[in-house]
Structure 1
Amino acid sequence: MKRSEYRKLQFIGGSSFMVSLPKDWVEKFNLKQGDTLLVSVEEEGSIRIIPSSLIGRAEPPERAVIELPKLKDPERFKREIFAYYILGIDQIEINLKERIAPDFMSVLNEVTRSLIGIEITSMEDKKITLSCLTSKDLSIDSVLIRMKQLVNTIIDGMMSYLENRDERVLQSIFDMEEDVDRFYMLSVRLENIGMRRMHDSGLSSWDFLRMLLGHRLITKCIEEISDELMKIFEHLKELEDSPGFRTVLSGELESIKSCFDVAMSAFLEEDLERAHESYELGKMIEERLRKESENSNSQRDVRMKLILMSMIELCRILRTISEISINRSVRATLRKL
C-alpha cells in the first residue's frame, strides 16, 4: 500500500549520508545486509529505490505457446497473435490437436501479411512456429518516418487520381493504407520492448515513459490520418467529374500534406518554431475548409461536403500532432537549461 512518511538524513562520516528504510518494506522483499538496490534519480529530483527482485520481473517471456484444440473462432485467434506480437514476443508456438487444415493456413497467411517481420519458420503435422524476424534495435523514429512517407505517398496518389482518373493507382493506395496499419502495430511492439529495456536506457523512468507516450500518440495520429484519407478517397471515386472540384480538392490535399510535413519535422527535430508554424497552418486550412463546406449546400454537393468534413477532421488531427510537438520541444529546451 502506498504511503509517505518523514525520515531524518544522517551524516555517517567522510562524505556519506544515510537514511533508514521502513522495516516492513525490507521484510516484504526479504532484504538483508549486502543486498543490491537500484537507486534511480528522477528528472524532477525525487529518488526511487527498487529491490533487485523487482527489476525486469514484469518482462514477458520471448517465447509463447498457444494450445489450440480446434480453430473455432479465427478472429479471436488472430487477436491473440496480434497481442503477443505487440508485447514483443519473438516466437509463438501453436500446438494443434488435429493436422493442419487449409482453412487454418489461410488464417495464418492473413496474420503474416498483417504483421511486419512475422514469418512461419517451422511447420510439422500438428505444430507451427511463428517467428518475428524484425530487429528489436530498429528505432521507433525510423518507423515514424516510414509511416510519414506512406501517408505522403497516399496523398500524392489521391492527387494523381484527381488529375487523370487513372484506375491503376487504386490498388497501390489501398496497399499503402494497409502498410500504415502494419507499421503502427510494429511501433507498438517496439514501444513495449522499450518499456522492458527502460532501466538500460540512460534516462530516468519518467522521462523515458513520456518519450514513449509521445511516440505512441503520434503513431496513432498517423494511423487516424491514413483512415481519414481512405474515407476521402472512397468519396472521390464516386464524385462527379468536375474540373472545379478537382482543382479545389487537389489544392487542399497539397496544403494538408505540407502541414503534415512541417508537424512531423517539428516532432522529430524537437523544433518549437516549426511546431507553432504547423499549428497555425492547420488552423488556417481548417478555417478555409469550413467556409468551403458552408458554400456546399446543394444536393449535388453532398459527397463534396462529406469530403470537406473529413479534411476538417484531418486538420484537427494535425493540430494534435502540433500540440504534442510543442510540448516535446519545450521539454527539450528545459533539458538544455
Structure 2
Amino acid sequence: MKRKVIQIAGSTQLVSLPRKWAKKHNLMRGQEIDVVEDGERIVVSVDSSPPFEAAEVNASNLGAMIPRCISAFYKRGIDSLKVNHDNSSVVGTLHSALAKDTVGFEMLEQGENYCLIKHVGGVPSEFGAVLRRIFLLLNTMSDECISAFEKENYGLLKNLAFLEEANNRFTTTCMRYLNKLGAPEEFCKIGPLYLIIESLEQLGDQYKYICQHFSKIEKERTKLRKDVLELFKRANQLVPLYAEIFYKFDPGRVVLIRETRNSVVADAHTLIKKEPNYAEFWLVHHSIVLAQQVFGMVDALLVLKL
C-alpha cells in the first residue's frame, strides 16, 4: 500500500491512514495511537499492550527439569501455560517451582492430569530500576564474601543464599520483560542486553556455590594464605568495575577488565602449584571463574555501547 507524504507548516509531514483500517479499529478524531520507529519502517498500532501468549507442555518425562522448563516459559513471556502430566507428583514440583523465581505465575486450575498456570502480575514497567538492583545485589554479595573470609568466619556466607534467590527473581523478571516488551529506548539491541542479564544471574550462582563449598568446612576453621585471599579480592573488583562501565561506558576501563582477568588467571595457576589446602584450592578456583565470567560479558557490552 502506497501513501503520499503531505507537507504542512514547513517542518511537519503527514501521511493518511487507510480508511478501512481506521474504521475497523473505530479511530476517532483526537484519539492517540502508537507510532514506533523500526529502521526504515514505522509501525502504527492502536494498542501498545503486548499480545497474549499461551503454550502447552507435557511434563510427564521432564523429571528434575520441570522447574527450569517453567522458568523458561516465564522468561519467554508466556501468559497462560497448560501443563499436562500422568503423575500427581508433578503437581507438587510445579508448586515448588512457582514459589521461586516466576513472580506473577500462579496455578489457577488443577485437573486430574493437567494444571493451568497463568501470569497474573501484569506487565513489568520498572526495567531500569530492577536492573540496577541486580548490580547492587551482586556488589553486596561480593563484599559479604570478602568480609567472611577476612574474618575467617565461613558461617557468614550462609546469608548469601537469600541474596542469590533475590538475584534470580530480578534477572528472571528482566528477561521476561525483554522477551515481552523488547529493549527499553536507552538500549539499542535486545540480544546483548539479554545475554548480560543471563550472565549476571550466573554470576550470582557462583556466590551461591562459594557458600555451599565453604559451609561444608565451617567447623574446620581452615586458614587461608594472604596471597589466596588477595587473589579473590582482585577477582571481585571486576564485579563493581563492570557495573560502573555499564552505566558510564569508558573503553579504557574495558581494557582494565581484560588486564585484571589475565593477571588473576596467571596468578591462580601459580598458586595452584604451591599445593593449596582444600579451602584455598576452592577459593582459587572461584577466583578464576568469577574473573572469566565478568570478562565473558565484555563482548555483549561492546555491542551494546560502541
Instruction: Give the TM-score, by structure 1 length.
Output: 0.63
Q: Which has the higher helix share?
A: 1
Show the counterpart of 2:76: 87
Q: Percent identity?
A: 16
Contact 2:35–2:42 (CA under 8 A) maintained in structure 1: yes
Show the counterpart of 2:92: 106
Q: How does 1:115-194 map to 2 (within 5 A)?
A: 115-120=101-106, 122-123=108-109, 126=112, 128-166=115-153, 168-194=155-181
Structure 2 residue 300 is matched with structure 1 residue 321? no
Paired with 2:221 and 2:255, the residues of 1 have a C-alpha distance of: 33
Residues 1:178 and 1:49: Cα distance change in structure 2 (over 3 Å): closer
Paired with 2:68 and 2:272, the residues of 1 have a C-alpha distance of: 42
- Aligned partner of 2:243: which letter? M
Contact 2:107–2:117 (CA under 8 A) maintained in structure 1: yes
Structure 2 residue 48 is matched with structure 1 residue 61? no
Contact 2:167–2:204 (CA under 8 A) maintained in structure 1: yes
Paired with 1:77 and 1:288, the residues of 2 have a C-alpha distance of: 37
Contact 1:282–1:315 (CA under 8 A) maintained in structure 2: no
Root-mean-square deviation (Å): 4.5
Q: How does 1:298-317 map to 2 (within 5 A)?
A: 298-301=274-277, 304-317=280-293
Query: Which consecutive unaligned segments of at least 5 residues does structure 2 have?
Result: 9-17, 22-33
Structure 2 residue 254 is matched with structure 1 residue 283? no
Residues 1:60 and 1:302: Cα distance change in structure 2 (over 3 Å): same
Contact 2:199–2:297 (CA under 8 A) maintained in structure 1: yes
Shift of 1:153: 2.8
Q: Residue 221 of structure 1 is aligned with which of 178, 199, 213?
A: 199
Paired with 2:264 and 2:69, the residues of 1 have a C-alpha distance of: 44
Paired with 1:12 and 1:155, the residues of 2 have a C-alpha distance of: 57
Contact 2:130–2:170 (CA under 8 A) maintained in structure 1: yes
Show the counterpart of 2:272: 296
Paired with 1:79 and 1:60, the residues of 2 have a C-alpha distance of: 24
Paired with 1:140 and 1:223, the residues of 2 have a C-alpha distance of: 15
- Aligned partner of 1:262: which letter? L
Q: Residue 258 of structure 1 is aligned with which of 228, 237, 243?
A: 237
- Aligned partner of 2:148: which letter? Y
Shift of 1:50: 7.4
Residues 1:130 and 1:163: Cα distance change in structure 2 (over 3 Å): same
Shift of 1:66: 4.3
Contact 2:138–2:239 (CA under 8 A) maintained in structure 1: no
Shift of 1:287: 0.9
Shift of 1:216: 0.9
Shift of 1:39: 9.8
Contact 2:224–2:280 (CA under 8 A) maintained in structure 1: no
Paired with 1:12 and 1:298, the residues of 2 have a C-alpha distance of: 75
Contact 1:65–1:92 (CA under 8 A) maintained in structure 2: yes
- Aligned partner of 1:283: which letter? E
Query: Which consecutive unaligned segments of at least 5 residues does structure 1 have?
Result: 1-10, 16-32, 331-337
Paired with 2:286 and 2:254, the residues of 1 have a C-alpha distance of: 19
1:290-328, CA deviations, whole angstroms, 9 ceiling, x for partnerless residues? 235314324444763453243233223323434544443
Contact 2:232–2:284 (CA under 8 A) maintained in structure 1: no
Instruction: Give the TM-score, by structure 2 length.
Output: 0.68
Shift of 1:154: 2.4
- Aligned partner of 2:131: which letter? L
- Aligned partner of 1:106: which letter? G
Contact 1:116–1:134 (CA under 8 A) maintained in structure 2: no
Number of residues paired by the alignment? 284
Paired with 1:173 and 1:78, the residues of 2 have a C-alpha distance of: 21
Residues 1:291 and 1:94: Cα distance change in structure 2 (over 3 Å): closer
1:26-51, CA deviations, whole angstroms, 9 ceiling, x for partnerless residues? xxxxxxx8676x998655xxx24779
